[in-house]
A and B are shown apart, each in its own frame.
Chain A
Amino acid sequence: MSVDWPDWARAATDPARTFARPEALDDLLVIDCSQASFAGLVASSFLAELGAEVIRVEPPGGDPARHFTPFGLTRAETGLGYLVEGRNKFHVTLNLEEPSGREMLTRLAVRADVLIETFLPGRMDAWGLGYRQLSALNPRLVYLALCTYGQFGPRAGSAQPNADVADQALSGLAFYTGFLPDPAAESDPSAVHTRQGSWHGWTLGGVWGAFGALAALHARADLGVGQLVDVSPAEALMRSTDISVGWWEMDGVRRSRMGNFDTAIFPYAYFRSRDGYILLAAVVEPAWQALCRLIGREALAREFPSVPSRRPLEVQRRLHAEVEAWTVTRTFEEIWAAAEAANASLEAGVIVVGRVVGTPAEVVANPYYRERGTLAVFSDPTYGDLLLQMPFQKASASPPRLKWACRRPGQDNAHVYANYLGYGRETLADLRRRGVV
Chain B
Amino acid sequence: MTPGDYLEWAGRQFDPAAVFGKPEALRGVRVIDLGTIFLGPTTTSYLAEYGAEVIKVEIPGAGDTIRALGPSFHQNMSLIGLNEPKNKYFVGLDVRKPRGADIFRRLAARADVLVENFRAGTLDRWSVGYRQLREVNPRLIYSAHNGFGQWGEYGLRRPSYDAIAQGESAMAAISGFPERPPIKSGGYIGDYLGAIAGAATILAALHHRRRTGQGQLIEIAQVECLIRFLDWTWTYHGLTGEHRGRYGNADVAIVPSDIVRARDGFVAISAPTDEAFGSLARAMDEPRLASGPRYATQLARARQEHRDALLERLREWAPKHTTAELVALGDRHGFAAAPVHSGETQSHDPHLAARGAVVRFDDPIYGRLPLVGSPAKLSATPARIKWTIKPIGADNEFVLRGLLGLGADELKMLEAEGVVGRWADKPGQRPPDGWDGAGRAL
Residues facing A in B159-193 (CB within 8 A) are 159-161, 163-164, 166-177, 179-189, 192-193
The answer, yes or no, to whether A414 is at the interface (CB within 8 Å) is no
Q: Are B340 and A169 within 8 A (Cβ)? A: yes
Shortest CB–CB separation between residue A323 and chain B, in angstroms?
A: 15
Q: Are B340 and A360 within 8 A (Cβ)? A: no
A10 and chain B: residue at smallest CB distance? B151
Interface size class of B (residues with CB under 8 A): 35 or more
The answer, yes or no, to whether A305 is at the interface (CB within 8 Å) is no
Choose among A157, A193, A243, A387 the residue that contacts B83 (Cβ–Cβ < 8 A).
A243
Q: Are A80 and B236 within 8 A (Cβ)? A: yes
A356 and chain B: residue at smallest CB distance? B167
Q: Which residues of A contact B341 (CB under 8 A)?
A: 169-172, 175
Q: Are A174 and B218 within 8 A (Cβ)? A: no
Q: Are A393 and B218 within 8 A (Cβ)? A: yes
Find the residue from A6, A149, A173, A209 having the highest chain B CB count within 10 A: A6
Q: Which residues of A contact B300 (CB under 8 A)?
A: 72
Find the residue from B10, B131, B333, B357 having the highest chain A CB count within 10 A: B10
The answer, yes or no, to whether B217 is at the interface (CB within 8 Å) is yes
Shortest CB–CB separation between residue B50 and chain A, in angstroms?
A: 5
Find the residue from A162, A211, A361 having the highest chain B CB count within 10 A: A211
Q: Are A70 and B252 within 8 A (Cβ)? A: yes
Q: A169-B340, A207-B193, A255-B342 are in contact. Are A160 and B331 (CB under 8 A)?
A: yes
Q: Which residues of B contact A226 (CB under 8 A)?
A: 380
Q: A148-B336, A152-B10 are in contact. Are A240 and B192 (CB under 8 A)?
A: yes
Find the residue from B172, B208, B231, B252 having the highest chain A CB count within 10 A: B231
Q: Which residues of A contact B357 (CB under 8 A)?
A: 232, 235, 238
Q: A172-B341, A239-B372, A253-B71 are in contact. Are A368 and B193 (CB under 8 A)?
A: no
Q: Are A243 and B298 within 8 A (Cβ)? A: no
Shortest CB–CB separation between residue B239 and chain A, in angstroms?
A: 6
Q: Which residues of A contact B412 (CB under 8 A)?
A: none
Q: Are B167 and A151 within 8 A (Cβ)? A: no
The answer, yes or no, to whether B97 is at the interface (CB within 8 Å) is no
Find the residue from A13, A158, A360, A385 having the highest chain B CB count within 10 A: A360
The answer, yes or no, to whether B319 is at the interface (CB within 8 Å) is no
The count of residues in chain A whose C-beta lies closer than 8 Å to any C-beta of chain B is: 184
CA distance A25 to B208 in the complex (A): 7
Q: Are B201 and A395 within 8 A (Cβ)? A: yes
8 further A-B pairs in the complex, CB-CB below 8 A; given A166-B338, A197-B174, A388-B235? A5-B120, A25-B207, A160-B337, A189-B248, A215-B26, A219-B23, A279-B163, A360-B237
Q: Are B270 and A165 within 8 A (Cβ)? A: yes
Q: Which residues of A contact B380 (CB under 8 A)?
A: 216, 219, 223, 225-228
**Of A88-96, A258-266, A294-302, A421-429, the one touching chain B:** A258-266
CA distance A243 to B342 in the complex (A): 11
Q: Are A354 and B375 within 8 A (Cβ)? A: no
Choose among A255, A352, A363 the residue that contacts B159 (Cβ–Cβ < 8 A).
A352
Choose among A166, A277, A386 the residue that contacts B182 (Cβ–Cβ < 8 A).
A277
Q: Are A71 and B189 within 8 A (Cβ)? A: no
Q: Are A122 and B3 within 8 A (Cβ)? A: yes
Residues facing A in B404-424 (CB within 8 A) are none
Q: Which residues of A contact B82 (CB under 8 A)?
A: 246
Q: Are A163 and B297 within 8 A (Cβ)? A: no
Q: Are B371 and A157 within 8 A (Cβ)? A: no
Q: Are A232 and B379 within 8 A (Cβ)? A: no
A352 and chain B: residue at smallest CB distance? B159
Q: Which residues of B contact A84 (CB under 8 A)?
A: 231-232, 234-235
Q: Are B215 and A397 within 8 A (Cβ)? A: yes
CA distance A241 to B98 in the complex (A): 38
Shortest CB–CB separation between residue B292 and chain A, in angstroms?
A: 16
Residues facing B in A53-109 (CB within 8 A) are 64, 67-75, 79-81, 83-85
Shortest CB–CB separation between residue B256 and chain A, in angstroms?
A: 10
Q: Are B83 and A151 within 8 A (Cβ)? A: no
The answer, yes or no, to whether B435 is at the interface (CB within 8 Å) is no
Q: Which residues of B contact A5 (CB under 8 A)?
A: 120-121, 124-125, 129, 131, 150
The answer, yes or no, to whether A32 is at the interface (CB within 8 Å) is no
CA distance A6 to B149 in the complex (A): 9
CA distance A8 to B219 in the complex (A): 13
Q: Are B240 and A73 within 8 A (Cβ)? A: yes
Find the residue from A22, A121, A193, A366 having the highest chain B CB count within 10 A: A193
Task: Annotate A177-219 by CB proximity to B: 1 below 8 A, 0 otherwise.
Answer: 1110000000001101111111110011001111110111111
Shortest CB–CB separation between residue B383 and chain A, in angstroms?
A: 8
A268 and chain B: residue at smallest CB distance? B163
Choose among B160, B204, B234, B307 the residue that contacts A354 (Cβ–Cβ < 8 A).
B160
The B contact surface, by secondary structure, is mixed
The answer, yes or no, to whether A245 is at the interface (CB within 8 Å) is yes
Choose among B156, B174, B371, B375 the residue that contacts A232 (Cβ–Cβ < 8 A).
B375
The answer, yes or no, to whether B109 is at the interface (CB within 8 Å) is no
Chain A to chain B contacts (Cβ below 8 Å), 16 pairs: A5-B131, A12-B217, A70-B232, A152-B10, A155-B351, A173-B186, A197-B244, A223-B381, A241-B186, A246-B371, A255-B343, A268-B163, A352-B159, A357-B167, A369-B227, A395-B216
Residues facing B in A370-421 (CB within 8 A) are 371-372, 374-375, 377, 385-398
Choose among A161, A174, A197, A240 the residue that contacts B259 (Cβ–Cβ < 8 A).
A174
Q: Which residues of B contact A204 (CB under 8 A)?
A: 192-193, 196, 375
B153 and chain A: residue at smallest CB distance? A368
Shortest CB–CB separation between residue B298 and chain A, in angstroms?
A: 4
Q: Which residues of A contact B376 (CB under 8 A)?
A: 208-209, 211-212, 215, 229-231, 236
Q: Which residues of A contact B176 (CB under 8 A)?
A: 178-179, 190, 194, 197
A41 and chain B: residue at smallest CB distance? B231
The answer, yes or no, to whether B442 is at the interface (CB within 8 Å) is no
Residues facing A in B243-289 (CB within 8 A) are 243-249, 251-254, 257-259, 266-276
CA distance A217 to B270 in the complex (A): 34
Q: Which residues of B contact A239 (CB under 8 A)?
A: 192, 372-375
Choose among A121, A198, A355, A387 the residue that contacts B229 (Cβ–Cβ < 8 A).
A198
CA distance A385 to B211 in the complex (A): 35
CA distance A360 to B232 in the complex (A): 11
CA distance A350 to B119 in the complex (A): 14
Q: Are B180 and A246 within 8 A (Cβ)? A: no
The answer, yes or no, to whether A286 is at the interface (CB within 8 Å) is no
Q: A80-B239, A155-B351, A240-B192 are in contact. Are A363 and B170 (CB under 8 A)?
A: yes
Q: Are A211 and B344 within 8 A (Cβ)? A: no
Q: Are B174 and A377 within 8 A (Cβ)? A: no
Q: Are A214 and B204 within 8 A (Cβ)? A: yes
Find the residue from B161, B201, B347 having the highest chain A CB count within 10 A: B201
Q: Are B336 and A162 within 8 A (Cβ)? A: yes
A152 and chain B: residue at smallest CB distance? B11
A122 and chain B: residue at smallest CB distance? B3
CA distance A69 to B299 in the complex (A): 8
Q: Are B374 and A268 within 8 A (Cβ)? A: no
Task: Annotate B426-440 by CB proximity to A: 1 below 8 A, 0 otherwise.
Answer: 000000000000000
Choose among B172, B217, B247, B275 the residue that contacts A396 (Cβ–Cβ < 8 A).
B217
Q: Are B207 and A163 within 8 A (Cβ)? A: no
Q: Which residues of A contact B136 (CB under 8 A)?
A: none
**Of B72-80, B88-96, B391-399, the one touching chain A:** B72-80
Q: Are B151 and A6 within 8 A (Cβ)? A: yes
Find the residue from B24, B84, B238 having the highest chain A CB count within 10 A: B238
Q: A165-B258, A197-B246, A363-B227 are in contact. Are A386 and B124 (CB under 8 A)?
A: no
Q: Are A218 and B25 within 8 A (Cβ)? A: yes
Choose among A24, A166, A244 the residue that contacts B204 (Cβ–Cβ < 8 A).
A24
Q: Are A121 and B343 within 8 A (Cβ)? A: no
